[in-house]
Chains A and B, each alone.
Chain A
Amino acid sequence: MPLMKKLAAAFLTAAVCVTALGVTASADEPYTGYNYDWWGDPIPSQNGFVVDKVIDGSDLGLDLLDYGEGLKEDALKQLQGLSEPSDMFVDQNTGKFYIVDSKNNRLIVTDSTFSPDATQVIKELKYSHEFPESQSIIKKTTFSSPRGVYVRTNSDGVKLIYVADSDNDRVVAFNEDLEIAMEYTRPSKDVYDDKTTYKPNKVVVDSAFNVYVIVPSITQGSLQFSADGQFNGYYGANRVEATAEVIAQQFWKLIYTREQIIAMRRSVAMEISNLDIDKEGFIYTVTENKSAETDVLKKLNPAGTNIFKNLGYDDMTFGDFATRYYKGHNYASAITDVDIDEEGNIYLLDFTTGRVFQYTDECDLLFIFGTKGPQQTQGTQKGTFLSVSAVETYKGKVYVVDSRKNSITIFKQTEFGAIVQNAISLFNEGLYDEAKEPWEEVLRRDANYWLAYIGLGNAYLNQNEYGTAMDYFYRTSRAGYNRAFKSFRIEFIRANFTWMLIIVLGIIVLLIAWSYVRKYLKKKKAASKGGSDK
């Protein structure tokens, strides 16, 4: 009996030790990774990205610069840090970061080290010889509330920086010598409503140097300018959602008079809020509206058609699935920025929750990271945000700009995230068998990671193991299951055709025999009945 007690004690001690070890190994991120399962329920998952570091104005050396005398303390303090940074652009070729410091009316250029040595501040521009001041409508050499930035290098190797200079009513393009090369100003009265403001908010430039400008409150899409500043028209408008109100309006339009129709509240599409261009030149747009259910993310070809439509992704729910109401607030996702990395992954930034949603190029949700901090802490905890404004990626790291924390948070990929990324790259190259091992590793670490089941299903499908593939596709992918089952069914029929034929023929023979027997019995019965009647 004492031996038993000792054994039990030893066992318990061991158990306590093991549990204690498990506790100390946990990460200290302010958010828990999660993903969505087959039924659209959130399930915990491993973190794919964790906070690397947080960069603010003093890291960039902005407090070391000379701002002259005679400034009030508040104004000086504002200049010594970032103030409401609203956009960022990373030049993937040179590794340069362009940060729009909106309230300080300046553009900050730095590199991935974010050191004071690499930082350059752009405040003042000059008009070049090719574009003299006399040609300009705006005639201003400083920024006024800049809100967007984009950089593109042309075939001559001249790099042009485009800034959406919001309060100056222009998008200004200048080269590295800070010479203004072109201004994209308000289109003429004939094509652009007089009463509408023209405050460029975001800008992207395609490889043909067409400039796409987002102006808030314009619902027809983004404004497209050609390289020489000519307004070409609108590009990439959203569809009008078929809500009950819209359908009712269509009905009333049949009955109403012309005057009544004009007086009606117009149903218009939601405005697009941000865009990005991927390596192949496709433009992605996002809609930052909590009630938007369609066209939240679009992938547009040069003709302005949504490519996701044919793939069925245009009505997909991006961001968080369920709308949460808590203490009078609506916590639906509002996607404020989009970024496409070199691998084609899509990053969506949710303003409501401060979360970044990482998707594959086929809109499969990979990871969710980042969170909104409580008001009390003012977002001082690393990885929490107050008011996110932009997301960018460079060499596997994700950069999130917060316009109220006035900082840039850098996320790095975890080991788990790297395994998933590796598996997806192999999978996209068609190396299904090679992708099997990383996918199995993913499942060992997180058995709920549904994309791994699809990956393994495809691997087994590729090896013609249809039954196993079906098991993996079960409740993870209907399309995959359908493909596996099709082959499985053909193989099954081929293997068992003889037996099936014998069984079917046997049943037919039995039925015929039974009908003969029945006829015979009835005849006999009738005969005996007739006999007894007589």
Chain B
Amino acid sequence: MKFDLDLPAWKWPFYVMRHPFEGYDDLRWKKGYNMKVAWVIVIMFFIISVASAQLTGFLFNNTYVKVFNIVPYFSSSVILFITWVVGNWSLCTLFDGEGTMKNIFCVSAYALVPYLFSEVIIIIASNFLLRTEGGFIAFFRYLGIVWSVVLMISAMKTVHQYSLPKTIAAMFFTVVAMAIILFLAVLLLTLFQQVFVFVYSVYTELMYRFSI
């Protein structure tokens, strides 16, 4: 009964969270990948990062809220996550990784769950705690981050069937790949902007010529 792994899709994130070491093997064996669940987690990631800026108690909140702009929160959660998945996939496909894009997306999203839990706890607790009790908040923050990182390593190791050193190297180079992707994206954006401006100025010039 205890090893009954015919779990519904939504239970898998919690299962891997509670079994950081063999959880992902079970997930792989049972093919518990589910994009819907993964997307819900990623969207929760976005919502919680906004909530953390807006709802954290005054004593622990350092956000500049005179002007609230949602774009930085979106790019530092959803876009960052997608870049991670794309970067990891493009790197590990070249280095004998077994994970498909969908698999990487799912396991990475599942690994975020402890971090999200810790953030929710922090948001709630920060409204009840005094400054002197800030240690609890730091504790939960580090706990969430460490747990998620451990899960992420486990996830990458399993999904690509790597050894531990290779996993850590792959994760490091994924971060490098992410930096390159973001750099290229910004470059492309600026170039296209300039092309657009060029085309637009040619268009206006022509319009002036023909209107007279």
Q: How many residues of A contact B (CB 8 A)?
A: 10
In the complex formed, the residue of B with least CB distance to A478 is B59
A-B contacts at CB below 8 angstroms, number: 19
B130 touches A486 (CB 8 A): yes
A499 CB–B CB distance under 8 Å:
no
B58 CB–A CB distance under 8 Å:
yes
List residues 474-496 of chain A with CB under 8 A from any CB of chain B.
474-475, 478, 481-482, 485-486, 489
In the complex, per-residue mask of B34-75: 1 if CB is within 8 Å of any chain A CB, else 0: 000000000000000000000000110000101000000000
B58 touches A39 (CB 8 A): no
A41 CB–B CB distance under 8 Å:
yes
Query: Which single member of A41, A481, A489 contacts B58 (CB below 8 Å)?
Result: A481
B64 touches A39 (CB 8 A): yes
> Inside 8 A of A481's CB, which chain B residues have their CB?
58-59
Query: Which single member of A39, A485, A486, A489 contacts B66 (CB below 8 Å)?
Result: A39
List residues 107-165 of chain B with CB under 8 A from any CB of chain A.
128, 130-132
Distance in angstroms between the alpha carbons of A430 and B132 in the assembled complex: 25
A478 touches B66 (CB 8 A): no
> Inside 8 A of B131's CB, which chain A residues have their CB?
478, 482
Distance in angstroms between the alpha carbons of A485 and B59 in the assembled complex: 10
Distance in angstroms between the alpha carbons of A39 and B59 in the assembled complex: 14
A474 touches B58 (CB 8 A): yes
| Contacts known (A482-B130, A485-B130); A41 close to B66, Cβ less than 8 A | yes
> Inside 8 A of A485's CB, which chain B residues have their CB?
59, 130
> Inside 8 A of A41's CB, which chain B residues have their CB?
66
A489 touches B128 (CB 8 A): yes
> Inside 8 A of B66's CB, which chain A residues have their CB?
39, 41
> Inside 8 A of B64's CB, which chain A residues have their CB?
39
B58 touches A478 (CB 8 A): yes
A475 touches B130 (CB 8 A): no
A475 touches B128 (CB 8 A): no
**A481 → chain B closest CB, angstroms:** 6
Distance in angstroms between the alpha carbons of A340 and B55 in the assembled complex: 42
In the complex formed, the residue of A with least CB distance to B128 is A489
**A471 → chain B closest CB, angstroms:** 11
**B48 → chain A closest CB, angstroms:** 23
Distance in angstroms between the alpha carbons of A407 and B125 in the assembled complex: 59
> Inside 8 A of A482's CB, which chain B residues have their CB?
59, 130-132
> Inside 8 A of B128's CB, which chain A residues have their CB?
489
In the complex formed, the residue of A with least CB distance to B66 is A39
Distance in angstroms between the alpha carbons of A486 and B132 in the assembled complex: 10
List residues 436-478 of chain A with CB under 8 A from any CB of chain B.
474-475, 478
**A486 → chain B closest CB, angstroms:** 6
**A524 → chain B closest CB, angstroms:** 15
**B192 → chain A closest CB, angstroms:** 31
Distance in angstroms between the alpha carbons of A377 and B128 in the assembled complex: 58
In the complex formed, the residue of B with least CB distance to A485 is B130
> Inside 8 A of A486's CB, which chain B residues have their CB?
130
> Inside 8 A of A475's CB, which chain B residues have their CB?
58
Distance in angstroms between the alpha carbons of A172 and B120 in the assembled complex: 69
In the complex formed, the residue of A with least CB distance to B57 is A485
List residues 33-62 of chain A with CB under 8 A from any CB of chain B.
39, 41
Among A39, A41, A478, A485, the one with the most B-chain Cβ atoms within 10 Å of its Cβ is A485
Distance in angstroms between the alpha carbons of A474 and B64 in the assembled complex: 14
Distance in angstroms between the alpha carbons of A237 and B66 in the assembled complex: 40
Distance in angstroms between the alpha carbons of A486 and B130 in the assembled complex: 7
Binding site for B on A (CB under 8 A): 39, 41, 474-475, 478, 481-482, 485-486, 489
Binding site for A on B (CB under 8 A): 58-59, 64, 66, 128, 130-132
Instruction: Taking A481-B58, A482-B59, A486-B130 as given, write out 13 further A-B residue pairs in contact, using a Cβ cutoff of 8 Å, ordered by the A residue number.
Output: A39-B64, A39-B66, A41-B66, A475-B58, A478-B58, A478-B59, A478-B131, A481-B59, A482-B130, A482-B131, A482-B132, A485-B130, A489-B128
A/B interface sample: 19 pairs, CB < 8 A: A39-B64, A39-B66, A41-B66, A474-B58, A475-B58, A478-B58, A478-B59, A478-B131, A481-B58, A481-B59, A482-B59, A482-B130, A482-B131, A482-B132, A485-B59, A485-B130, A486-B130, A489-B128, A489-B130
5 tightest A-B contacts by CB? A482-B131, A486-B130, A482-B130, A39-B64, A474-B58
